[in-house]
Amino acid sequence: MRRKIILLFVCIAVIIGAMVVTKYYKKDDQCIAVGKYSRGIIIGQNNEPISSVKIYEDTIKGKELSISNAQGEFEILDGVCGEIVLQFVTTDGETYTKKYDRKHIPEVIELSYKK
């Protein structure tokens, strides 16, 4: 009788452990599988659109995500989980780094000098 009770608790623990592991990995898969387009416009300090700004994720050595067009508009494809660090490189060589929540990348990004 005692062995049956111990066996019952072991089975319950294994089932609960399997459910937790399955739920954890399912959550990660959803973050990887889902992507979205983020669109926006890049403006300077004078509120004028900036064209030909190269956009990188994390570092300049990484893959180029997008280049802003003549109206300063850009479009990037990214995931929906966590944070993203974007690096903006203007045509005159200025580099700006901004950190955003992936769900809430702003539609208007102002590149201004640090004070």
Q: Are residues 18 and 74 in the same domain?
A: no
Q: Are residues 2 and 47 in the same domain?
A: no
Sheet containing 54-57: give its strands across: 64-67, 54-57, 83-89, 95-101
Q: Are residues 65 and 25 in the same domain?
A: no
Q: Are residues 29 and 40 in the same domain?
A: no
- DSSP at 92: T
Identify the three-state secondary structure at position 90.
Answer: coil
Q: Are residues 61 and 98 in the same domain?
A: yes
Q: Are residues 39 and 70 in the same domain?
A: yes
Q: In the Cβ-directed half-sphere of 35, how many Cα atoms lie within 13 Å?
A: 7
Q: Closest Cα to residue 79, out of 21, 34, 14, 49?
A: 34
**pLDDT for residue 46:** 85
By residue range, what is the domain housing residue 46? 35-110
**Which pTM does this prediction carry?**
0.63
115 assigned to some structural domain = no
> How many structural domains is the chain composed of?
2
97 assigned to some structural domain = yes
**pLDDT for residue 115:** 45
CATH of the domain at 81: 2.60.40.10
Which residues of the chain carry a pLDDT beneath 70? 25-34, 59-60, 80, 113-115
Q: In residues, how long is the chain?
A: 115
41 assigned to some structural domain = yes
Q: Are residues 29 and 46 in the same domain?
A: no
3-class DSSP string for 28-84:
HHHHHHCEEEEEEEEECCCCCECCCCEEEECCCCCCEEEECCCCCEEEEEEECCCEE
Q: Are residues 47 and 75 in the same domain?
A: yes
55 assigned to some structural domain = yes
